[in-house]
Amino acid sequence: MKLPKFGRLEFQIMELFWKKGACSVREIQEAFPERNRPAYTTVQTTVYRLEEKKALRLVKTIGKAKVFDATISQTQAQGRLIDDLLSLFGGQVKPVMARLVESGKLTVADIKDVEQMLREHRGREPANASPIGRSHQGKDKPK
C-alpha cells in the first residue's frame, strides 16, 4: 500500500487520531487548542479527504455523528514524511544531520542511540564501530 502525502492540517488531525484512537469529527475539532482551533467544517472536510486517501476509515455512525479511526500508523506516516524530506536533498542525509547539529537538536546521546540502531539493523557492526567516524575516511566523498 502506497502511503499518502499529508498537508500540515492533515498531519495534525492524524496525530490526534493516533493519540486518542477512534473519534468523531467534533471530538477531533475540540481536541485542538481553543486559540488555534479550525472550524468544524474545515476539520470535517479534512477528515473526509483523509478517508479518501485511505488514512482514516469510518468505523461507526452514532446518529448523525461519524466515528473514524486511523488505518496507518504514526511510524508509517513519519517514515513517509522523512523520505519526502530526504528526497528534497537528493537522498543525502548529511545536510539534514548538519542542520540538526547546528540547531542543537541532535545530541551525543541521540548519536549513540542511532549507532546502536545501526548495529542492530545491520547485525554485523562491531560494538565499537562508529558510523559517524567512517564518513570521514573517504567512503562517502564524491569522486
Q: What is the mean pLDDT of residues 121-139?
A: 53
Residues forming CATH 1.10.10.10 domain(s) in the chain: 8-70
Q: What is the pLDDT of residue 39?
A: 97
| pLDDT top residue among 72 and 140 | 72
Q: What's the farthest any 2 CA atoms get from each other in the chain?
A: 65
Q: Residue 123's pLDDT band (boundaries 50, 70, 90)?
A: confident
Q: Residue 140's pLDDT band (boundaries 50, 70, 90)?
A: very low
* CATH classification number, 8-70, choose in 3.40.50.920, 2.130.10.10, 3.60.150.10, 1.10.10.10: 1.10.10.10
C-alpha cell at 21: 484512537
User: Measured between alpha carbons, how far is 49 from 44 in angstroms, rounded to an integer?
Assistant: 9
Q: What is the pLDDT of residue 124?
A: 56
State if pTM tops 0.85: no
Q: What is the pLDDT of residue 128?
A: 52
- 59 phi and psi angles, rounded to 5 deg: -105, -30
> pLDDT digit string (tens) for 11-60?
999 999 999 999 999 999 999 999 999 999 999 999 999 999 999 999 99
Q: Residue 137's pLDDT band (boundaries 50, 70, 90)?
A: very low
> pLDDT digit string (tens) for 85-115?
999 999 999 998 889 989 989 888 988 998 9
